[in-house]
Amino acid sequence: MTAEYQVHGAVAVITLNNPPVNGMGLETRTAAVKGIQQALADDAVKAIVITGAGKAFSGGADIKEFNTPKALAEPSLHTFIATAESSTKPVVAAIHTVCMGGGLELSLGCHYRVAMPGAQIALPEVKLGLLPGAGGTQRLPRVLGLEPALNMIVSGNPVASEKLPALFDEIFAADADLLTSAVAFAEKIADVRPLPKVRDRKVDYPNHEAFLQFSRNTVKAMAGPFPAPLECVETVAASVTMKFEDGMKFERERFLHLIQTTESKALRHAFFAERVASKVPDVPADTPVRPIKSAAIIGAGTMGGGIAMNFLNAGIPVKLLETRQEALDKGIATIRKNYENTLKKGKLTQEKLDQRMGLLSSTLAYEDIGQADIVVEAVFEEMGVKEAVFRKLDEVMKPGAILATNTSTLDVDQIAAFTQRPQDVIGTHFFSPANVMKLLEIVRGKATGKDVLATALALSKKLKKTGVVSGVCDGFIGNRMIEQYSRQAGFLLEEGALPEQVDKAAEKFGFAMGPFRMGDLAGNDIGWAIRKRRYVEKPEISYSKTADLLCEMGRYGQKTGAGWYDYKAGDRKAYPNEDVNAMIVKHSADLGITRRKISDEEIVERLVYSLVNEGALILEEGIALRASDIDMVYLTGYGFPLYRGGPMFYADTVGLPNVLLAINKYAKGHQGGAWKPAPLLSKLAADGKGFNG
């Protein structure tokens, strides 16, 4: 049963019941339309109320149905709405908690709308690369007026019901019972005729063309590569310039166009990928979690300070531990400075700043942190230092405390083995700047307890992070892949490209930053240190020496004012440097390479496919649970363009046989040994499948 039918006196109540958010899938639509027909056939029924069970009126069309035959099967959402609108008995939408997308569009087709205060009202389709496709662009402006409707549709942001009085015939008191109140309302209006229909209203906006042109210009400038926002403007414009029926037809046409675009598919992929990432097959949703009411952080450096801010922002008290008072003072001063900058930008109040800083304390003694529910270690990236810290934590932390490490490359299992409680040890790999970046790689050691993993996943939500689970391997998901990307970037320099060309090509593809600008931001010395370790541990892996030569010139990146590029104080712009470019050209000559012109297409393919190929290995080894987790890592941690859906999704859109073809071609070129097609990639390509099915 996906919609229930009950009669309360002279009022029929149809309750959408399709958990979790009453998405209007085929079964729900069918049952609801049947309900309306049943009410119309029953002479004792004078009015109809439509409401939603559980935690939503409706979250809209069932997104899982999109691009499946069910989406278009009758009764469609249009038919459902038209059935409500053309009902000869009044239909009242009784709204609570969430009323979004097709849910709001349904309510606009009803004759009346009543609501509880605090209900989240939105047409969020634009966030999925779509526009409201069931009359929202035509009916909302007729109710709210052109400008407020356009703002809601283009932004997709929710507005509380009480802030939209024009939308509702009645907003009940916060303590009212929705169903009782809605039935009473329906009884009151049962005999009123003619039945009010939104479609009969006109959108009145003097000089609408000037406003619409202004909106087009603004939205175009902000939408970047996404076509949906501008399409939203055009369809809303039709509510003024066209007759209702023509506007509806136009809306339909544009919706059907958008739903086929890669941009929309990528956004929908990201929507589900984000939600599925928190699900781990052998850790059921009802796994008990440990309470996290206090935290300790070891190391108040770059990462420790940022990690502390996440806890403070979530209202969790933090104790910072360092080896020296000066390091503590510096760390705390940086945290305060960050908050003060946010205050200056008007994004934080003084009161909140004081509250957050009030939750922060510090110590030099391990005994002071023993009672914390979680401790996150963010000390130097050296196994010896980690060992000393974890042995100490094992001594002082209360039983049941979670011991987390922020290591970016070291073996979490080895770290866990320094303690007598490896089940309590987990990796929480934050990304820099930790107070800003959404990604949290949660590294599951071989002994990590299921409740510890479940707690870390729940914590990531509390800290407003996207938690993605990774198994233990060098670099986990994100950094293991980026290493291949960086290797290709280096080889491209040896063969004929310069940093500026590589960065520009990557940025044109949509990366927030090309590999060399990213290196300058992160610090080239970090990669250098990792490579030095690799030269000893894994001599079989080849790297371009160009980046080492750069570091030997003392050019570590933005922090030294010079890296692949030059930087000027107070200006983050990257200025190409002649000496660096000469060094690159000379290095090619030293290697006996005749530099060639490399196309942007080749640059992008080599950068992106190196990610894809390593991603396929990671998937095959079970380090990532699913391809979409890898995409989430790249979308939230590495500036991969959202409209391309992540590297694995992107590979699917290109077609895996094409990816394989290109990889095999590059395997015959310079440093071709870096390319060994992942068996999973070859298999999926041969089977005509994609990473995401």
- Per CB under 6 A, residues contacting ligand NAI are 298-304, 321-323, 327, 378-381, 385, 388-389, 406-408, 429-432, 522
Cβ–Cβ < 8 Å for 311, 352: no
Per CB under 6 A, 125 contacts ligand 3HC: yes
Whose Cβ is closer to ligand NAI: residue 351's or residue 367's?
Answer: 367
The listed partner (ligand 3HC, ligand NAI, none) that binds 342, CB under 5 to 8 Å by sort, is none
The listed partner (ligand 3HC, ligand NAI, none) that binds 229, CB under 5 to 8 Å by sort, is none
Per CB under 6 A, 129 contacts ligand 3HC: no
Per CB under 6 A, 229 contacts ligand 3HC: no
Phi, psi dihedrals of residue 192, rounded to the nearest 5° = -70, 130
Whose Cβ is closer to ligand NAI: residue 66's or residue 528's?
Answer: 528
Minimum distance from CB of 643 to ligand NAI (Å)? Answer: 26
Residue 96's SS3 state is coil
Q: How far apart are CA 42 and CA 30, in angstroms?
A: 18
Whose Cβ is closer to ligand NAI: residue 474's or residue 600's?
Answer: 474
Per CB under 6 A, 464 contacts ligand 3HC: no
Residue with tokens 């590589």: 502
Q: How far apart are CA 95 and CA 114, in angstroms?
A: 6
The listed partner (ligand NAI, ligand 3HC, none) that binds 327, CB under 5 to 8 Å by sort, is ligand NAI
49 closest CA partner among 84, 101, 97: 84
507 closest CA partner among 614, 641, 371, 672: 641
Active centre residues (catalytic): 105, 125
Minimum distance from CB of 418 to ligand NAI (Å)? Answer: 13
Mark 295-333 as b/e (b = at least 16 C-beta within 10 Å): bbbbbbeebbbbbbbbbbbbebebbbbbeeeebbeebbe
Cβ–Cβ < 8 Å for 450, 456: no
Minimum distance from CB of 286 to ligand 3HC (Å)? Answer: 13
Number of Cβ atoms within 10 Å of the Cβ of 619: 22
Minimum distance from CB of 259 to ligand 3HC (Å)? Answer: 9
Whose Cβ is closer to ligand NAI: residue 335's or residue 659's?
Answer: 335
- Copy the structure tokens of residue 185: 């309302």
Q: Segment 271-310, which members bind ligand 3HC (CB under 6 A)?
A: 275
Q: Segment 30-69, which members bind ligand 3HC (CB under 6 A)?
A: 59-64
DSSP string, 521-554: HH-HHHHHHHHHHHHHH-TTS---SHHHHHHHTT
Kindly report whether the peptide bond that precedes residue 225 is cis, defined as omega within 30 degrees of 0: no
Minimum distance from CB of 671 to ligand 3HC (Å)? Answer: 42
The listed partner (ligand NAI, ligand 3HC, none) that binds 304, CB under 5 to 8 Å by sort, is ligand NAI
CB-side exposure of 501: number of CA atoms within 13 Å? 16
Q: Segment 62-121, which members bind ligand 3HC (CB under 6 A)?
A: 62-64, 77, 98, 100-102, 105
- In this structure, is the dihedral angle defined by the CA atoms of residues 306, 308, 311 and 313, taken in order, positive or negative? negative
Whose Cβ is closer to ligand 3HC: residue 274's or residue 373's?
Answer: 274
Residue nearest to ligand 3HC (CB): 101
Q: How far apart are CA 651 and CA 611, in angstroms?
A: 10
Minimum distance from CB of 2 to ligand 3HC (Å)? Answer: 12
Residues binding ligand 3HC (CB under 6 A): 20-21, 23, 59-64, 77, 98, 100-102, 105, 124-125, 128, 132-134, 136, 275
